[in-house]
Chain A
Amino acid sequence: MWRVTLRSLWEHKRRLVSTVLAIVLGVAFMSGTFVFADTIDKVFADLFGETRSGVDVQVQGVELFDGGFGGQDARELLDIGLVDEVAAVEGVAVAEPFIQTVGFGSQNRVLGPDGEPLGASAGPPTLIESWVASERLNPYRIATGEPPSSDDEIALNVAAAEDAGYELGDEVRVVSQLGEATYRLVATFTFGEAESAAGAVSADFTLAEAQRLAGLEDRTQVVLAAGDGSVDEEALTQRVASVLPPTAEALTGTEAAELEASDIQEGFGFFRQLLSIFAGIALLVGTFIIANTFAILVAQRTRELALLRAIGAGRRQVLTSVLLEALVIGLVAAVLGLLGGIALATAVTAALEASGADLPTSGLVISATTVVTALVLGLGITLLASVVPAIQATRVPPLAALRDVAVDRSGASKPRIVAGVLLLALGGWSLSSAWRVDEPEVATVGLGALALIVGAIVIGPVLAEPSVRILGAALPRLRGITGVLATENAARSPKRTSATASALLIGVALIGFITVFAASARESVVAEVERGFTGDLIIQSEASGFGPPGGFPPAVADTIAAVDGVETTSRIGFTQAQVTYPDGRAGTQFVQSVDPATLSQAFDARMAVGEVTDLGPGGVLVDVGVAEDNDVDVGDVVLLTGTGGQSVQLEVRALSDDLTLLGFWSIDTADYERLVTERQLVQVIATVSDGADVDVVRADVEAALAGVPAIDVLDRDGFIGSLTDQITSFLTLVNALLALSVIIAMIGIANTLSLSIHERTRELGLLRAVGMTRSQLRSAVRWEAVLISVLGTLVGLALGLVVSSALVRSLESFGLTRFRVPVGQLVVVVLVAGALGVIASIRPARRAARLDVLDAIAVE
């Protein structure tokens, strides 16, 4: 069996290529994601391993709460006196405090001579640190100069200093929560041998200055210690631990390195998951295609299989032969996919390095998990896809050898109709809960969407023929007999057409869903801002992609207030905090700080209970939905704990109902200053005086803020634009990732057509004999492809539309108040799908046109 299978595969090399391609792409995407993520993980593991190589013990505050979505965990701060206590432990040779603040956006940035911040805005961050004197504890090595010894001195890593063109003795401006300050460059340093720590900008100060910049006077984040060699790091760590207060904990240097690396890796874990989802979609689409391909191949080989059976091959042998073929194809796909993934990861890493991220890559990491995943996916999916066709192959009766090959098998079996209708009904009913129920569950809507899509795929073969005929109704008039043939061919094997279109349907449904959803979100946001935003100008950090909002120094608000023509300013700050509810439960939440007195000039927020002005020091304003979910009401007292461990008790004063403008939790600026160690504003909203020209004032504010890096001064339209831009770039990213599954679906269309054309050889020869020109033949194949792709696209879009309308409806309480169908964009999707159909048809059409007439009509 092996020999027969391998030979038959080798004879159809080209078909093999297009068959495996559908799986290769998905596997490549998946394994590429894995390799890249593993490589990045290793980069950071190495980095922190090196950072901590001389550290035996790291003392840090106990965890207060998890930072959530990629954020750093919040920990207790340590009293600076703890350093001496650790140093006094027997066996400790040296102990030093260390403070590090991460900067991006407009705060905690080092400016170049041109006033622009050093480092890429979306790349590695800026690290504002205290210089550690002990060489054993400090991963940095002085390259030139002497470490900072006075509070107006700074040391920079070599790469940052060189990029900016700074020389020792130069003045360097740094923007922190305290505003802008100037330091004298006294040293440059390397990170081990490297000129930067993975591309980060490292700016080091004296301890006192680092404390001041971070808002940590008399405190430190960690204490680093090295032993005198009398005991190992575990023993030393235990000794240190015994002298610590309950708010602190001791880790060995190794553990500390692992912890830091894993914090960063968690952030990348999200990225790994995200990309894996899209790779999964691509693989799902690939599964459809390969299953369809196998089904066609088995159908085409009916006669051959029957012959095998007739000459005495058992059912099992037939099954084995088909499964063997799948095994080989799956193996080839898995290996090629893995290689493709490695190539992909190499390309992405290279692109990242080219864009400025200085990754000290010691080569790609190809873990056993990656290899196993690729093999399991490639092989598993192919085998899975071949099971049904293989079983069908065993059902071929030996007598079929004597009959003509029956290609057209009807798709409308009764169980299929019943299952399809049931699923569609179930999906429809679940989705309709968005309208039927007062507070619809998003999960119900999601399940409904799934049932609807599966139902559509199940019932596809039943509806494929009539749908194709309806779609192609105009073709005969437009394209004459070519159109008739295209329509008839697309309609002739409903199962095939439906499986091919279904592969496309999946990707397009998601694209349609996301597109409509984003358009609705955009429109809702615009509507909310237009209704509620009453300010004239808004000052915020330049959009930094998908990270947390970039902050800027609070002093910026005063600069703005001082500009001529600015009437009022209202500050909005931001932090993460842990909220402890009256019943004792706690959770990490986004909290913003506002000025209640001026807030009403900035915007007219929608309130559920009470007024914005009810908020004052000691009060908190909660979104009504959050309040309901957590059983909180006006008059209740909640405890907010900040990232440094400071906490404030606040009374719920009012309930807001305006996520777009007020978010989940709003507190008074005075309480915010007690809650956080590092203050940052995310927005200042200004109104201009009567008679002043907004454009003029805007220009004046911009001029006044010339020294603040990466900050935008926007009028209403600009603000709306900045919000919609974020949604648009999200949409673009998601659609770009979904494009892969659409491309795979197109490969499926090309595959199906090629196989069908192979099957129709004689028919095509006849057409050519009676006078069909090559271009007419190509045109017929092309229109067949267009029909299939437009069918998949239209059904996909329809599903996407229905699902997004239900989801938008069920998210109304989250501020999604509008449903909008971006007709133009959807038309583009259909046109693109049609065009891709044409592209998919190029090869099969050429093949059809190349057919030799005489060969084709020769009677066997």
Chain B
Amino acid sequence: MSISPAPAPPTVAARTERATKVYGSGDTAVTALDEVDVAFDAGRFTAIMGPSGSGKSTLMHCVAGLDSLTGGRVLVGDVDLTTLSDKELTTLRRDRIGFVFQAFNLIPTLNARENITLPLALADRKPDQSWVDEVVATVGLGDRLDHRPAELSGGQQQRVAVARALASRPEIVFADEPTGNLDSSTSAEILHFMRGAVDELGQTIVMVTHDPQSASYAQRVLFLADGAIVDEMADPTAERVLDRMKRFGD
């Protein structure tokens, strides 16, 4: 173990091929995604940015198997989601994908621990206890694990949500404005933690955000406008992202 192997070329955790999503039909049709080709590298933290209504959530939902495309393909690993039944999509979400939403992430009747292991429980899988412990320890929830969501602060709730997204070691985690409801210092903690999961645990994370500060935690930022990828940026900083975003206003 003295010689570390050369870093393997990044494999792709999920990608789209000419992904198209049209809502409605005829005059009222809205093209939310317009032949999007995008790949999310494994082990990387990708942020998606863009103006409101640009199709960020739609893209994320379609890649995550929550919504279906009207054209093109989505692949998670080698699996073409467009060929899967509802049941297969459900098990795919359960076993291979993690989620963090902006709010209402937790089941109110389950305590933090149960919420964290929920996808595993749904799969009837035994949680890998040391991994769960590690996740919990990293999120810093040690003494609050037996509390119900109502007894947790907003920040704590989001931490539990992140822990849940990681506990099943999914191939890819999707987060839609995970810190949208939080103050900046709590946001920073959570984002720091997410970045840690990528760096130290090798997790793949895709995050939608409006906030340049948040985007700066990512390793790569994709810019979306009118349903198409218009730009991307590697190793972003808050200022550069902000600059880029300003140009959408024009």
Contacts and interface: CB of A to CB of B under 8 A. Distances in A.
Interface of A: 480-481, 484-485, 488-489, 491-492, 762-763, 766-774, 776, 853-854, 857, 859
A763 B90 CA distance: 16
B114 A771 contact: no
Given A489-B109, A769-B93, A772-B90, A854 B104 contact: no
A484 B93 contact: no
A771 B122 contact: yes
A854 B110 contact: no
A774 B106 CA distance: 19
A332 B19 CA distance: 52
Contact of A773 (B66, B90, B102, B106): B90
B226 interface: no
A352 B187 CA distance: 76
B95 interface: yes
Nearest to B97: A771
Given A481-B114, A767-B107, A774-B90, 20 more contacts: A480-B121, A485-B109, A489-B109, A763-B107, A763-B108, A766-B101, A766-B105, A768-B90, A769-B66, A770-B119, A771-B93, A771-B95, A771-B122, A771-B123, A772-B90, A773-B90, A773-B91, A854-B66, A857-B66, A859-B103
B122 A769 contact: no
Contacts, number: 73
A613 to B, nearest CB: 75
Nearest to B106: A766
Contacts of B118: 481, 767, 770
Contact of B66 (A767, A776, A853): A853
Nearest to B87: A773
Contacts of B86: 774
Nearest to B121: A481
Contacts of A481: 114, 118, 121-122, 124
A857 B122 CA distance: 19
Nearest to A853: B66
Contacts of B101: 766, 769, 857, 859
B122 A762 contact: no
A481 B109 CA distance: 12
Given A489-B109, A766-B104, A857-B104, A484 B121 contact: yes
Contacts of A480: 121, 124
B62 to A, nearest CB: 10
Contacts of A853: 66
Contacts of B104: 762-763, 766, 857, 859
A770 B87 contact: no
B195 interface: no
Nearest to A767: B107
A857 B90 CA distance: 15
Contacts of A854: 61, 66-67
A382 B102 CA distance: 42
Complex A-B, nearest 8 residue pairs according to Cβ-Cβ distance, in ascending order: A771-B94, A488-B109, A481-B121, A771-B93, A773-B90, A771-B122, A771-B119, A770-B119
Nearest to A857: B101
B217 interface: no
B124 A859 contact: no
A352 to B, nearest CB: 53
B45 interface: no
B99 interface: yes
Contacts of A773: 87, 90-91, 122
B220 interface: no
Interface string B24-53: 000000000000000000000000000000
Contacts of A484: 110, 114, 121
B109 A859 contact: no
Nearest to B111: A488
A763 B61 CA distance: 17
A492 B108 CA distance: 9
A766 B161 CA distance: 11
10 contacts: A484-B110, A485-B110, A767-B118, A767-B122, A769-B66, A770-B118, A770-B122, A773-B91, A854-B66, A859-B104
A827 B176 CA distance: 51
Contact of A770 (B61, B67, B99, B102): B99
A484 B109 CA distance: 9
